[in-house]
Amino acid sequence: MSGTINAFEMAQRQFDHVAELLNLDPQIAEILRQPAREFSFRVPVRMDDGTLRVFQGFRVQHNDARGPNKGGIRFHPSETFDTVRALAMWMTWKCAVADIPLGGGKGGIVVDPATLSTTEKERMCRGWVHNMWRNIGPRQDVPAPDVGTTPQMMGWMMDEYSKLIGEYTPGVFTGKPLGGGGSEGRTEATGYGVIFTVREAMKHLNMDPSKSWAALQGFGNVAQYAAIGFIELLGGKVACVSYWDREDRTAYTVSHADGIDPRFLQSITDQYGSIDKDKAREAGYVIEDSEAWISKDVDVLIPAALEGQVNDESVQKISDRVKILAEGANGPTTPEADEVLKSRGIFDIPDFLCNAGGVTVSYFESVQNDMNFYWTKEEVLKKLDTKMTQAFNAVLAMSEKEKVYMRDAAYMVAIGRVIKAMELRGWI
C-alpha cells in the first residue's frame, strides 16, 4: 500500500461509493471520510553506539463511536501518514462488521526494524509510548502488533504505559505474549476465522465441504491456519499453498495430487514462511510457479499473502469450478478483478469480514485482561466461531435484502452500525 497507490484516497473512494448506496447525508459522510484525531510526533532513540537518532511516529484514531479505537502499530520504512489514515479507517469498518465494541485506529514509525538491535527496538517501543500514553488506554485506544512489530514489543509497550500511569494495565495493548497477558487462540484466530466464513458460505451455496478442494496463496500465519482449518474443521482437501522463497528470491506454489498436509509443511517452514523445497519434493510435493495456485481446479480460492494478487490478468486464470473467493489477505482483489468476479457469479467473502478473526480475538484478549481471568483455547475459538458466523450472516442478509455484492453489503452493515452508534450518542 505504498508507492503510486494512495491508500487513503482508495479508502475514501470506497467509502464514497457506499455513502451513495446508503444515500448518506453529506455532512455525516464528511465526519467519516476523515479521521477524528491524528498524532504526528518525533521519537528520539539512543542507539547502541551512543548516537541519537530521531524517527517519525504516527497514530490515527479514525472513529470511536462504538468503543475505544483499535488497530496495529507498524514499523516500516515506507510508512506514510496516508497509509496509516487508510488502515485506521478500514479498522473502523472491520470492528463494526465483526460487531465488536471497538472503533478504528492505526499507528506506526517510519523505520526498518531489521536494522535495529533488540535494545534499540525496546527503546523505540518505549519512545512511541512516551509520545502517546496520554491518548491511549483500555478505554481510549488499544494498539496491537502489525507489520514489523511483535508480541514482545507489545510487552515492552504495555510495561512502559503501566509505569507511566502507575498501574499494571495489560489491556492497553493486545497481541501480547502468552503468559504476559496474551490470549489463547490468537495464533489460529485469523486463519480459522477465514474458515468459519467459508463454512457459512458453503451452507448458503449448498456445497458439501467434505467434497471440496481449496487452493491458497501464502503460507504465513493466516494461510497456515486457514489450510489446517479447511482440512481439520471442514473435512475438505487443499490442493496447494504458495510462498516466498527467501533463498531464490521468488515465489512458488507447492502442491500435492492427494492434497497437501499443512502440518507437515509447517514443520519444514521457517519463521518467515519459507518452505524447504527439497524436503517437500522428497515427500512427493510438486513445486510450481508462483501463479499456479490461482488456476487450480478447486472450489475455493483463498488469497492469504499480499494485496492486489487477484487482478485483471490473474483473474482470467480462475477455473470455472471456483465458487468462493475468501479474502484472507487485506486488499487481495483489485476493483477491475472484482467486476470479473461479479460477472462470473463467484461468491466473494470480502477481506474485512473474512479476516476479522484476528481483531476479534484481540478484543477477547482485552476482555480477559479486564477480568483478569483467562479462557481456554477451546473457549476462545468457540466464541470466535459464534462472532464470525453472526458477522457473515448479517452481511449475507444485507446482500440479499439490498441485492448488492457481498463487499458492498459488508460496507453497508459496518457503516450503518457506526452511524447508529453516533446517533445513539447524540453526535449527529
Q: Does 218 bind ligand NAD (CB under 6 A)?
A: yes
Q: Which of 242, 333, 366, 399 binds ligand NAD (CB under 6 A)?
A: 242
Q: Among residues 70, 94, 106, 121, which one is catalytic? A: 106
Three-state DSSP class for 16? helix
d(CA 335, CA 383): 33
Q: Single out the segment in contact with ligand NAD by CB under 6 A; choices: 10-18, 113-121, 213-221, 231-239.
A: 213-221
Tell me the number of residues near ligand NAD by CB under 6 A.
Answer: 23
CB of 275 to ligand NAD, least distance (A): 8
Whether 219 contacts 275, CB under 8 Å: yes
Q: Binding string to ligand NAD for residues 153 to 192, with x set by CB under 6 A, is what?
A: -------------------------------------x--
Whether 219 contacts 290, CB under 8 Å: no
Q: Which of 57, 143, 170, 273 binds ligand NAD (CB under 6 A)?
A: 273
Q: Does 108 bind ligand NAD (CB under 6 A)?
A: no
Planar angle of CA 245, 248, 252, nearest 5 degrees? 45
Task: Indicate if 420 belongs to the active site.
Answer: no
Burial label for 381, CB within 10 Å (0-12, 13-18, 19+), is buried
Q: Does 103 bind ligand NAD (CB under 6 A)?
A: no
Planar angle of CA 72, 75, 79, nearest 5 degrees? 95
CB of 299 to ligand NAD, least distance (A): 21
Q: What is the distance between the terminal CA atoms of the chain, rounded to a whole angstrom?
A: 32
Q: Which of 8, 90, 244, 285 binds ligand NAD (CB under 6 A)?
A: 244
CB of 330 to ligand NAD, least distance (A): 4
Q: Does 243 bind ligand NAD (CB under 6 A)?
A: yes
Whether 123 contacts 48, CB under 8 Å: no
**Cell 521519537, residue?**
43
324-343 positions binding ligand NAD, by CB under 6 A: 328-330
**DSSP per residue, 192-259:** HHHHHHHHHHHHHTT--GGG-EEEEE--SHHHHHHHHHHHHTT--EEEEEEEEETTTTEEEEEE-TT-
51-70 positions binding ligand NAD, by CB under 6 A: none
Q: Which is nearer to ligand NAD, 173 or 243 (CB)?
A: 243
- Which residues are known to be catalytic? 106
Residues that bind ligand NAD (CB under 6 A): 190, 217-223, 242-244, 251, 273-274, 290, 304-306, 328-330, 355, 358
